[in-house]
Structures are given as structure tokens and as C-alpha cells.
Chain A
């Protein structure tokens, strides 16, 4: 087994037009993931994203088994999970226990219904590890519509949500409706997760929603720069991952996760380096 097995660009120019739909989907998903990332980071919701994606997987698996639209199943599952998590535990510690309870249950349900499903087995594997090989127009439009809703909702609630995330006490004193915002955000997060599940699969959602922002946070403390970098990193991961997977003909998800992980490592190193030189005298 040679290096070529993992990285090659054989017939690259011929293959790219075939996956145009996937590339557009990857680009949109990268954008949305990058925009919502800083908020997940500020609200410390990494584990909730994981839990939500498992329930999204369960929803998709049930939809597949019953013959409904898989995307709709994924959305129903993750939005339900996200709202439930939003309602249950305001405090991180309680929330994490709740997630730990829901996560295996969702995963179990998903596995059960996938086993019951009699159709093509590539569909089964796809829900866990990504299946955006050939995106049809209908799927693309669903993605565009849901992404537009997510971005508009986030833009509208950005400031009070950010305020409520990092400084809840004063936000409440300033009249920010923190509870309503928390639930609204979980719905938006659920929608985003459901979209991401279809590209990289339930197990690897974190690499698009968490890693890019964590990488950006290593090199900046400015909220605007953080958002911009996180969008850039998430988009590079999604699109770059798709392109790299073409030649070897392997699944997309390992490439997406590897690209996003490498970006994180580079930022981690850069952050250490710059801080050591006095970028911030406090962190030196």
C-alpha cells in the first residue's frame, strides 16, 4: 500500500465536474458551520453538538426504514434533540449528563433501524460517515433553504446571543431574553447539525462545527476575526476534503476531518509561537 492509496490526483480534472453538486454543498455547509462555530464555542456546546448529531442519525435511520425523506428525518431528530437539551439543562454539568444519556440511546435506535432497513447498504454506512457523493438538485435546494434560514436567524440574534453566552448575568440585567434565545439557538443548531450529518456523517460532525472555531481561537481574541477565520477554516475543510477524496475514491469524511485537524494543529503551533514572542504579555 503506497501513499497514492490516500492522496492522488488521477483524472482530477475529469472528476471535479462530476461532483459539482457536492462541492457547492460543501461550500455552503462550510460557510454555515463557520458562522455558527463561534457561538457553539462561546456557549460551550461541543458535547451537545455530538449528542444532537447522534439523534439526527437516529431520525435519519428511522426515516430511511419507513421510506420517508432521509434529510427530513435527520432534521426532525436533531431539532427535537436540540430543543430538548435547550429546555433541560441550563448549567453545563447537568447538560453533559443529559447528553451522555441521550447519545447512546439515539445511536442505538439508529443502529436498530439501519439493521431493519432492507435497501442498499451504502445508504446505511453513509448516514454515519457521510454520503455526499452525488447530491441531487432537490437535496441541494433543501440545503440552500435551510442554510439561509440558519444564517438569517443567526444574524438577527447574533449580538444578544453572544452577550448572553459570555456574560449571562449582565445580559439578563440588560433585558436580554436569554432563555428564549437559548432555545432559538438550539433549533438553529439542530438544523445545522442535520445538514452537516448528510455531508460528513453523524460521527464526524464535530470536525466541521467545533474544530475550525477552536483553531481560530488559538490565534485571535477578536470576535469578528474569530468568526471570519472559522468560516475560512470550515470551508477549506469541507471543500478541500471533497477534492482530496476524488482521486483515491475513498469516503469524504476522513479527508474533511484530517484537513480540519491539520488546520487546528497549525493554529495551535502558531498561537504558541506568537504568544511566546509577546503577542500578549499576559500569556507569555
Chain B
């Protein structure tokens, strides 16, 4: 890929359903290895952005490209990491089968085992540190372990961008931290861009290069320092929004947003058990 090509290119992109505009005028070029958080209230169109890039939702107008090509269904340049959902314990599949699906699950036919296939699957399992439990039935693994396998599954085609749809949801704090650190390491080692949809900015804050913030049919793009401020968000929402950056000590900070349609940090405000895992490392 030539360096002039951004991994993700959106130019004046607009999504509308039945004439109702979900969001409009989204411009962004995402470079290889860049970590972009996608934020905004429920229903603002965060997941829809991922579905546009996956080729599942067509733009009303504008341009969407991945790796210099127009978006299309089933691109191997894209790795997709969904929310953690308990996988049925009856399903007779192992971790390595899940990763194998990422490699050739969309190909017709029965699929016979091959050495090259096994080698690639082992390689990526090793990278995410899941080799040790890759032969266990998937239903007996913990949420954190399953998300590691999900990341391996997304990485197995050597994509240029990872689309993550709230991959930390329903994980405990320790596992959230580990999954984010794994994603961060992978994007640095392989120069993969990450688009990360989330309600909760704090766990990923240390790794975020830029954010896309959706609200009221608009999209604001910039660094966290540019976008997540009282002034910017008040302008975006069209009402007063209060952003508080709560300094815990010299290197730890927590961001609280008040007055948005939802307050993503409310759950943890009185939860002293998790005080320290919520901290943001500013290094």
C-alpha cells in the first residue's frame, strides 16, 4: 500500500435511513496504526459507521474507502471484533476453530485441514497469548479469553484495520485493561489502524490518537484534547455539556462528561472498588 493511501478514507460521508439523516459531513483519513475512538450517545450512529466500512450500509452520499478500495462486503483487509457475548456452551467448537473461521469461514466447501492453515492459526494464537487454551471448547473459556480469541480471529487475515464494536462490554476491569493493551500492541507491531466504538472512554484513553464524536446528526473529529472539552461538546450537542477532567494524581486522570444524553461514567462514580482501575495514565 502506498503511503499516500490512508487505511480508512471518508469524504463528506452521510448515512440516512428512509430520508432521516443519521449523520452527515463526516470527513476523516485514518493512517496505518492509528487508534481512533468512536464516541457518542446511543443511537447516534457509532456502530453504523462500522457497518458502512463493512459494506453492510450504503452511504446516502459521500465516499467510503478501505485500503484505497471502495468498501465492499467480506473484505479481508478488515478485521471485526464484536461485543463479548457468551457463546453457547453446547457448540462443539474450540478456540482454534473460531480463529479458523476468520481465515476461511466464508469460503464454500468443506475445507480440509492444511499445514499452512494450521501454521497461520497457531502463529496468531501465539501472538495474542491464546495458544494455551486454543484446544478447549469455547464455551468453558472466560470472557477475557474469548475476546483474545476474537482478536486473533480478526487478525488472522492480516488486515489493515480492526473494527471493534464495544469489545470491552461485560468484561471486568482487569480483563478490559488486558484486551485494550493487546489491541494497542497489535496495532503498533503490525501497523493496523483501530476503530474502537465505545461508551466508556476511560479504559482506552491512554491509547487514543483521535476520536470521532457523533451527536445530533453531526460528527466531530479531532484529538481527545480538541473534542472532549466543555466548549466542543457543548457546540456539538447544542446545549451545555460539562467536561471534567478529574486529576487523581500527577499521572492519572479520569474524564467525566455531564449533561450529554447519557452519562457514561455514572455507574462507577460511587464505586470505590474500581477507583484505581478507572484511572487514566497520561504518560
Kindly state the separation between the CA atoms of A209 and B54 in the bound complex, as whole angstroms.
36
Is B102 engaged at the interface, CB distance under 8 Å to the other chain?
A: yes
Chain A 217-245 per-residue mask, 1 if CB under 8 angstroms from chain B, else 0 = 10011111010000000000000000000
Given contacts A166-B91, A280-B137, are A174 and B80 in contact (CB under 8 A)? Answer: yes
Q: Which residues of chain A are near B114, meaning CB under 8 Å?
A: none
By the criterion CB–CB under 8 Å, are B88 and A176 in contact? no
By the criterion CB–CB under 8 Å, are B108 and A157 in contact? yes
Which positions in B face A, CB cutoff 8 Å? 54-56, 72-75, 78, 80, 82, 85, 87-88, 90-94, 97-98, 101-102, 104-111, 113, 133, 135-138, 140-141, 150, 153, 163
Q: Which residues of chain A are near B55, meaning CB under 8 Å?
A: 175
By the criterion CB–CB under 8 Å, are B108 and A173 in contact? no
By the criterion CB–CB under 8 Å, are A221 and B109 in contact? no
CB-nearest residue of chain A to B165: A169
By the criterion CB–CB under 8 Å, are A156 and B92 in contact? no
Is A160 engaged at the interface, CB distance under 8 Å to the other chain?
A: yes
Which among B92, B105, B110, B113 is the interface contact of A174 at CB below 8 angstroms?
B105
Main secondary structure of the interface of B (DSSP, over half): loop
Kindly state the separation between the CA atoms of A175 and B53 in the bound complex, as whole angstroms.
12
By the criterion CB–CB under 8 Å, are B105 and A217 in contact? no
CB-nearest residue of chain A to B95: A221
By the criterion CB–CB under 8 Å, are B140 and A280 in contact? yes
Q: Which residues of chain A are near B136, meaning CB under 8 Å?
A: 221, 280, 282
Chain A 160-192 per-residue mask, 1 if CB under 8 angstroms from chain B, else 0 = 101100110111111110000000000000000
By the criterion CB–CB under 8 Å, are B105 and A172 in contact? no
Kindly state the separation between the CA atoms of A158 and B97 in the bound complex, as whole angstroms.
14
Which among B80, B92, B141 is the interface contact of A170 at CB below 8 angstroms?
B80
Kindly state the separation between the CA atoms of A170 and B157 in the bound complex, as whole angstroms.
13
Q: How far is the CB of B156 from chain A (nearest CB, A)?
A: 11
Q: Which residues of chain B are near A160, meaning CB under 8 Å?
A: 105-108
B-binding segment of A11-19, A38-46, A135-143, A195-203: A38-46
Q: Which residues of chain A are near B140, meaning CB under 8 Å?
A: 280, 282-283
Is A159 engaged at the interface, CB distance under 8 Å to the other chain?
A: yes
Q: Which residues of chain A are near B92, meaning CB under 8 Å?
A: 38, 41-42, 216-217, 220-223, 226
Is A116 engaged at the interface, CB distance under 8 Å to the other chain?
A: no
Given contacts A42-B91, A160-B106, A221-B136, are A170 and B111 in contact (CB under 8 A)? Answer: no
Interface residues on A, range: 20 to 34
Q: How far is the CB of B159 from chain A (nearest CB, A)?
A: 11
By the criterion CB–CB under 8 Å, are A163 and B74 in contact? no
Which among A163, A175, A216, A220 is the interface contact of B101 at CB below 8 angstroms?
A163
Kindly state the separation between the CA atoms of A106 and B153 in the bound complex, as whole angstroms.
43
By the criterion CB–CB under 8 Å, are B94 and A222 in contact? yes
CB-nearest residue of chain B to A158: B110
Kindly state the separation between the CA atoms of A220 and B163 in the bound complex, as whole angstroms.
33
From A171, A173, A223, A226, residue with most partner B Cβ within 10 Å: A173
By the criterion CB–CB under 8 Å, are B80 and A158 in contact? no
By the criterion CB–CB under 8 Å, are B105 and A175 in contact? no
Which among A155, A166, A169 is the interface contact of B110 at CB below 8 angstroms?
A155
By the criterion CB–CB under 8 Å, are A170 and B88 in contact? no
Given contacts A38-B92, A223-B93, are A167 and B101 in contact (CB under 8 A)? Answer: yes
CB-nearest residue of chain B to A217: B92
By the criterion CB–CB under 8 Å, are A221 and B110 in contact? no
Chain A 37-66 per-residue mask, 1 if CB under 8 angstroms from chain B, else 0 = 010011010000000000000000000000
Q: Which residues of chain A are near B109, meaning CB under 8 Å?
A: 155-156, 158-159
> Which 10 A-B residue pairings sit nearest by Cβ, starting from the closest?
A175-B74, A163-B105, A282-B140, A221-B137, A175-B73, A173-B80, A163-B101, A174-B106, A169-B82, A158-B110
By the criterion CB–CB under 8 Å, are B106 and A221 in contact? no
By the criterion CB–CB under 8 Å, are A159 and B80 in contact? no
By the criterion CB–CB under 8 Å, are B80 and A166 in contact? no
Q: How far is the CB of B71 from chain A (nearest CB, A)?
A: 11
Which among B74, B88, B94, B105 is the interface contact of A44 at CB below 8 angstroms?
B88
Which among B56, B91, B106 is the interface contact of A171 at CB below 8 angstroms?
B106
Can you report 13 residue pairs joining A to B where beta carbons are below 8 Å apart? A157-B108, A158-B109, A160-B107, A163-B101, A163-B105, A166-B91, A172-B56, A173-B54, A173-B56, A176-B74, A223-B93, A226-B92, A280-B137
Which among A159, A220, A282 is the interface contact of B105 at CB below 8 angstroms?
A159
Q: How far is the CB of B264 from chain A (nearest CB, A)?
A: 23
By the criterion CB–CB under 8 Å, are A159 and B82 in contact? no
Q: How far is the CB of B12 from chain A (nearest CB, A)?
A: 25
CB-nearest residue of chain B to A224: B113
Kindly state the separation between the CA atoms of A42 and B89 in the bound complex, as whole angstroms.
11
Q: Which residues of chain B are near A174, meaning CB under 8 Å?
A: 74, 80, 101-102, 105-106
Q: How far is the CB of A99 from chain B (nearest CB, A)?
A: 19
CB-nearest residue of chain A to B101: A163
